[in-house]
Amino acid sequence: MGSISRAVDPESYTIGYAMEAKRKGSFIQPSFLDAASRRGMRFVAIDMSRPLAEQGPFDIIVHKIYDHAWRAHLEAFSALHPGVPVVDPPAAIDRVLDRFTMLDAVVSGLSHLVSVPKQIVVRDAADLLSDAQIGGLRFPLIAKPEEVDGSAASHDLCLVYRAEGLRGIHTPVVLQEFVNHGGALFKVYVVGGSATCVRRSSLPDVPESRLRDADAPAAVPFAYISNQPLPDKDGGVVEVEMPPAEFVDEVARELRRALGLNLINFDLIRGNDGKYFVLDINYCPAYSKVPGFEQILTDFFWEMLNARNGQEPQV
């Protein structure tokens, strides 16, 4: 049975969501639900213990679940209701669940705008000590688990200052050259056609002397590195200029198009030479950290509902 198209009804729109409990808290917040309800949108938690095809009806499904059982449920539902948008398609999400391949879209389609730090993937622990494998990279390196699966282990990153620091690193791992960037990171939150850039403190620059300091640890987990902005010579905090809004919008638009994803954020830095780099891409991030996220998400889902029904977006 196919989905039934209907005009936008301000009284009743049901959006089903499937997310782990920890993700719900940063997305499905009361302030957002209130904003959505004023547009006639109701968000309903999908019961993961029941087949999705037996639930609903839904006008949109939004999800951040990666296991095979959920994918099977989603495929069965989409076969019955092909007109119900799924935010976002699992095949597209797969592209950003591997830290090595997630940046392929940047390399292939956005190289005229931004760069990617040099990186390799190492899947055999023995290769971590091989000059043939690692010799082409310059220290310091960021060591990241290759797979992004939502677990705490997948966020266990460390900064490696010299070769001996690679001992004990778990594989498979992505080794990415660290780019000095003045201790400032720009997180760009993308929701459909909207992009919001937020400045965050980042890892401080690494001086050459630190790489030669044999008495200092050869590798340090991110959790133990200060993320405070560097003070200037007078003891104050250095003010970092935000990237131009037009530039951020263009990068976000092109990356969204290349990935086929509506809900992402990406980490952007500006090297000390002024060159921009994309370091990482995440699917369906914690939007509650974005100022005004309630209206941004509400507008996005409203536009999807109107597009599904062949209508012009309304306010």
- Please state the residue numbers annotated as binding site for 1D-myo-inositol 1,3,4-trisphosphate: 64, 155, 187, 282
d(CA 35, CA 288): 13
CA–CA distance, 76 with 88 (Å, rounded to integer): 16
The total number of residues shown for the chain amounts to: 315
Question: What one-character DSSP code corresponds to residue 115?
Answer: B
Question: Identity (one letter) of the amino acid at 229?
Answer: P
Residue 24: name the closest of 9, 8, 44, 41 by CA: 44
CB 114 within 8 A of CB 277: yes
Could you give the CA distance from residue 282 to residue 54 in angstroms, rounded to a whole number? 30
Binding residues for Mg(2+): 267, 280, 282
The DSSP call for residue 132 is: H
Q: Provide the annotated binding site for ATP.
A: 99, 144, 176-187, 202
User: Can you tell me whether residue 310 is helix, strand or coil?
Assistant: coil
**In sequence order, what are the residues at sequence separation of 6 or more whose Cβ sits closer than 8 angstroms to the Cβ of residue 155?**
145
Listed residue (282, 294, 226, 300) closest to 93, CA to CA: 282
- Under 8 Å CB-to-CB from 227, ≥6 apart: which residues? 201, 202, 203
